[in-house]
Amino acid sequence: MNHEDSNSGRRLFFLSMIYGLWGLIGAALALPASIYLLFPPRLRKREEWTEAADMGKLTAKTPTEVVFRQNRVDGWKITSERTTAWAIKISDTEVIALAPQCTHLGCAYHWDDGKRQFLCPCHTSTFSPDGKVLSGPAPRPLDRYEVKVENGKLLLGKVVESENAA
């Protein structure tokens, strides 16, 4: 065997090994990106309803703070967290549920029985029982949850941002 033939054979072997290694590294980097592009987490969202309260325990036309657990999805991580809503029973089959944050700066507001309105302590915004702005710097009505009533249970969906009052 010629010395030159053995060098070219060795050279071909090492070039093949280098290209093969580059191919493996490229595949290892491309696989997670391909999975993300083919199965993005946002497209896998499904409508989720959470049981928040028993309709029999809600008093008609009086806001009641209900506490419930809701799943929050962040990429592939799902976290169950405790959250609240203000539920106002209109009838046995109709209810509105308000998100617990003021639309001005996101402070938690409370119900004042004496004044029959919601009060935000941060900048003194006030809201009617159905969430409309009565006074203060709040730019729009309170946000609402999507609501369903099934088998005497109040089910809450996602929060729907209210429209500007102007």
Q: What pTM does this model have?
A: 0.68
Residue ranges for the chain with pLDDT beneath 50: 165-166
Q: Are 163 and 63 in contact (CB under 8 A)?
A: no
Question: What is 8-56 written as a DSSP string?
Answer: HHHHHHHHHHHHHHHHHHHHHHHHHHHHHHHS-GGGG-----EEEEEGG
Distance CA 14, CA 8 (A): 10
Give start and end residues of each alpha helix (H) in the chain.
Answer: 3-38
Q: What is the structure's pLDDT at 166?
A: 41
Q: Are 104 and 135 in contact (CB under 8 A)?
A: no
> Beta strand 110-112 with 95-98: parallel, antiparallel or unpaired?
unpaired
Q: What is the structure's pLDDT at 60?
A: 87
| Site of tokens 């609240």 | 84
What CATH superfamily is the domain 50-160?
Rieske [2Fe-2S] iron-sulphur domain (2.102.10.10)
76's CB contacts (< 8 A; 6+ apart) are 41
Domain map of the chain by residue range? 3-39, 50-160
Q: What is the structure's pLDDT at 1?
A: 54
Query: Among 161, 160, 154, 144, which Cα is nearest to 94's?
Result: 154
Q: Tokens representing 34?
A: 């391909």
